[in-house]
Amino acid sequence: MSVLIEVEGLGKTFADSSLSLSPKRPPVRAVDDVSFSVMRGETLAVVGESGCGKSTLGRLLLNLIPPTEGRVVFDGVDITRLPKGEMRRMRQRMQMVFQDPFGSLSPRRSVSNTIAEPLVSFGLVRSRTERRERVAELLAQVGLPSAFMDRKPRQFSGGQRQRIGIARAISVDPAFVVADEPVSALDVSIQAQIINLMQDLQESKGFSFLFIAHDLAVVRHIADRVAVMYLGRIVELGTKAQVYGAPHHPYTEALLSSAPQPDPDRRSDRIILSGDVPSPTRIPSGCPFRTRCPIAQPICTEERPPLAEASAGHSVACHFAEAFPITRRRSAA
Amino acid sequence: MSETVAPTGGKPLDALAEREALAPEPGLGRTIGLVLFSRPSTIVATVVIALFIAIALLAPVIAPYDPLRQSLLQINKPPSWEHWLGTDQFGRDVLSRIIYGSRNSLIFGLLSPLLAAIAGTSLGVVAGYFGGIVDRVISRLIDTLMAFPELLLAILIAAALGGSFWNIVVVLTVAFTPGFARVARASTLAVKQEPYVEAAIASGVRTPLIIIRHVVPNILAPIVVLMTLWSASAIRIEATLSFLGIGTQPPNPSWGNIIRDGLNNMFATQMPIVSGGLAITIVVLAISLIGDAVRDVLDPEISR
Amino acid sequence: MTGPLLEVKDLTVEFGPKRAPIRVVDGVSLTIHPGEAVGVVGESGSGKSITALSILRLVPEPPARVSGSVLFEGRDLMAVPKGQMHRIRGKEIGMIFQEPMSSLNPVMTIGDQIEEAILLHEKMSRAERRARVVDLLRLVGMPDPEQRLGAYPDQFSGGMRQRVMAAVAMACNPKLLIADEPTTALDVTIQAQVLALMLDIRKRFNSAIMLITHDLGVVAEVCERVVVMYAGHVFEEADTRTLFRDSRHPYTQGLLRSVPTLTSTQKRLHQIEGSVPPPGTITAGCPFRPRCSQRMDRCATEMPPLVTHGDGHRAACWATAPKAIAQGEAA
């Protein structure tokens, strides 16, 4: 597999740029020195809780927001330095599925207009008939009847709207699709439908897929590799087997064990983290996780652990990743 | 892979849309219907407005007399079969003057708010969407304009440049623009945050098209409400200005100057004052009622 | 065990015109015993939240029409005059709402809000009340409770606010705590804390909990019994282990198989086709029928009654009803 996207030292700080006279809020370091690659045809999941920067990362990868540091190299092109016109054309190769099925479709435009919008913007359809044909094809690919074409979004359920959003994203045959928590707003019985749909589309069309989620269970079926984020940094990155089977970072383990599972016999020898997630305006020094980490040591306050390889393809950002393998779950206080 | 839609093909449902199912959102036709026909008061108001517009448009056809024609033999006559509202101190038929006067009110009442809406919305949307220095400059401009009460501005301009009718139309348009600009800017800021705008950017839509296609249609609701409400104000202001001698110049009739002439002649005949005042009151009331109804219907949409 | 603490019998809540009503809760019955943790599971449109609100008579009564009975310690809450309900709310039955951001008054300190709950129901001196508030905050796991009394809700995170809500709800030691999706808006690591808190509350106060959620994982962790609702009906009820291991309703079975988990070995998620019907669209027969893999002709015309499958295990389904019982009386 070759590399499609190379992310180098990416960072994004949101400063309070309002013009008000009241004291400025401290800047928010949403993404902090993130580097990784996305391979062609793979599904990479980015998982973390609120405030970890995963949504910001997704948008940075598509250059929907400009980075404060670092760069994103898409198929050899540094998209963070592209002039506006070229960037717009580049968007044909990278698309997004949004979290909010109700907000991501313009309420006053018909389904057909919404799905065809990328096709029209990039000049890929020449006539109205061609446009309608393509839309009908796309609707079929996402499992919706073509009769939906002329209706407005408000007549559809969340699951159906998400399908429409997916149809829009794949309409231009992109090489890269970012899905930002695409099933979080949906009912449980619909989530499986949408996850399966995306999995099928990814397999048949072969695009690289970045799936952002807050729940490790949701991505388990669909991901090839998983990146776990905390307060703007990647704390663990590895294949599915590595991250689920042999997690090396205490936060990953906490995520895995604290999610309630529909299994009444699963005994809770879980790690329940104490305290709250620190505010992204006041990220702890050294390792940001140290305030809640069951195995924090003095070095964690002083030195920030780099994301380093623990084994082939498996990187962890923890001073003790080597010394404490999975059995740490038992030894944690 | 097929998905079965709910049996009646009716409103599908989700965690977030549950409320909507119990209060379905009507389409444009139904919305207009709801506004105009929901209550007896709005039905009456609609009829009144329709009459008002018809009268103004058909004035040359339905006015029994030339409103400017004076007749020294017929001064200050009380209402009669020949002159339903009697005559004024120049022998002019009051009814015809009222009918023709409605034209000026119509222009002010419809044209000024409409022009102001267009100008204000454009300014507000540009300021809201682009932000930064553009926003700062436009906002200062809006704030400066807003500092002047419309009436005062009109009087100032009249004193400086002459109080002709079209001067005043321009003045009122300028005076109303900041209100629309403010509302448009605020709505644009909100809409800019909506995911579908981001989605349009990701779909490669160019900025001008984003504004026209995605922003403007979704901010229209508060603008429409404001337009109907300011329409009523505009008519009232026109009457006030022409009462003061600014705006419609005599001998051209306007409800305001009909009242003023009537005031000077109050003891001879009261019909001009009464009919002028009633005309203004009725039309302003009718527009206000419609404006309230518009706001009631569109408001749930705004506050969502 | 003594008699049930709460008995909801045939609760129906409908909206809209009388000739074509929209039933968001349709003939729901459930029972909660003292000290028991019962989960009410359902997706959107299932009517679970409205059921909870109806127990406390918080559903606005026009436009809603509520019928049925809600027996709390033998007393029918439906018969209590609305003006008297405030004596029950907070004192006998406490409620935690879903959105901790909007359920706390942003302009009142948290100390005052908890104190208000006590003030309404119990006679104590100010000093006693303050002490009680501090105790409660400590109990719900708030660090430095004395210092935080004067803080405002927006100074806390979601998890902390939820704890404050729990303190408000438990302030008068109610016998029943109704928690409506208390962890949905929270991060998973905070969820774990709040769930542990709920279990702790139950132990200390010996109060019963009615936990409303869409999350089967949460139910498996916290509850002893589960009631599954769909489109206003109760589809199945059982103790937790039985429900997860031996469900007798196609909806529950489908749900269990389609939830993404960390442990299952499926290559693909099982999915239930179709979507939840909007309230009022299915007026005859079983509302799950369009999506059900085991549907029969009878399902189109007759809503199946709850049929006993085992001790405390009932399911409303024609396909799974044991033949002998299906032909006779529904238990």
Strands C176-180 and C225-230: what pairing?
Answer: unpaired
Whether residue C260 and residue A221 make contact (CB cut-off 8 A), yes or no, is yes
A333 touches chain B (CB under 8 A): no
In angstroms, the CA B69 to CA B92 distance is: 6
Low pLDDT (below 70) residues in chain A: 16-24, 267-271, 322-333
Q: Which residues of A touch C241 (CB under 8 A)?
A: 264-265
Give the closest of A49, A159, A192 to C189, CB-based: A49
Q: What is the dihedral of CA B279, B280, B285, B288, to 10 degrees?
A: 140
Is the separation of the CB atoms in C141 and C193 below 8 Å? yes
Is the separation of the CB atoms in C220 and A260 below 8 Å? yes
Contacts of A248 (CB under 8 A, 6+ apart): A236, A310, A314, A316, A318, A321, A324, A325, A326
CB atoms within 10 A of CB B57: 13
CB atoms within 10 A of CB A93: 18
In angstroms, the CA C39 to CA C213 distance is: 7
How far away is chain A from the Cα of C113, in angstroms, using its nearest Cα? Answer: 22
Q: In chain B, where are the structural domains located?
A: 38-59+88-303
How far away is chain A from the Cα of C251, in angstroms, using its nearest Cα? Answer: 9
Q: Which of residues 35-54 of A touch B (CB under 8 A)?
A: none
Give the closest of C16, C279, C290 to B7, CB-based: C290
How far away is chain A from the Cα of C67, in angstroms, using its nearest Cα? Answer: 28
Q: Which residues of C touch A258 (CB under 8 A)?
A: 188-189, 191-192
Mean pLDDT of C8-12: 93
pLDDT (tens digit per residue) in B30-47 = 667 766 777 788 888 888
Nearest chain A residue (CA) to C218: A260
Residue burial B269-294, b: 16+ Cβ < 10 Å; e: rest: bebbbebbeebbeebbebbbbbbbbb
Q: Which residue stretches of C206-301 are H helix?
A: 216-222, 240-245, 250-258, 298-301
Identify the pLDDT of residue B300: 55
List % helix, strand, coil for chain C (3-state, nearest 5).
35, 20, 40
How far away is chain C from the Cα of A186, in angstroms, using its nearest Cα? Answer: 9
Contacts of B294 (CB under 8 A, 6+ apart): B35, B224, B225, B228
Nearest chain A residue (CA) to B216: A108
ipTM here: 0.83
Identify the pLDDT of residue A173: 94
| pLDDT over threshold 60, residue B18 | no
**Which token pair is C251?**
């909806």
Identify the pLDDT of residue A311: 86
How far away is chain C from the Cα of A253, in angstroms, using its nearest Cα? Answer: 11
Whether residue B14 and residue A158 make contact (CB cut-off 8 A), yes or no, is yes
Identify the pLDDT of residue A206: 93
pLDDT (tens digit per residue) in C281-301 = 888 889 999 899 888 888 889
Class of domain B38-59+88-303: mainly alpha
Contacts of C252 (CB under 8 A, 6+ apart): C228, C235, C236, C243, C315
Is the separation of the CB atoms in C243 and C252 below 8 Å? yes
Give the closest of A188, A218, A276 to C214, CB-based: A188
Q: Which of residues 17-56 of B touch C (CB under 8 A)?
A: 18, 21-22
Q: What is the dihedral of CA A47, A49, A52, A53, to 10 degrees?
A: 60
In angstroms, the CA B71 to CA C270 distance is: 92
Identify the pLDDT of residue A141: 94
Cis peptide before B251, with omega less than 30 degrees from 0? Answer: yes
Cis peptide before C63, with omega less than 30 degrees from 0? Answer: yes
B13 touches chain C (CB under 8 A): yes
Please indicate whether residue A81 or residue B7 has the higher confidence score (pLDDT): A81
A103 touches chain B (CB under 8 A): yes
Contacts of C205 (CB under 8 A, 6+ apart): C170, C173, C174
pLDDT (tens digit per residue) in C185-239 = 778 888 888 888 888 888 888 899 999 998 898 899 889 999 999 999 999 999 9
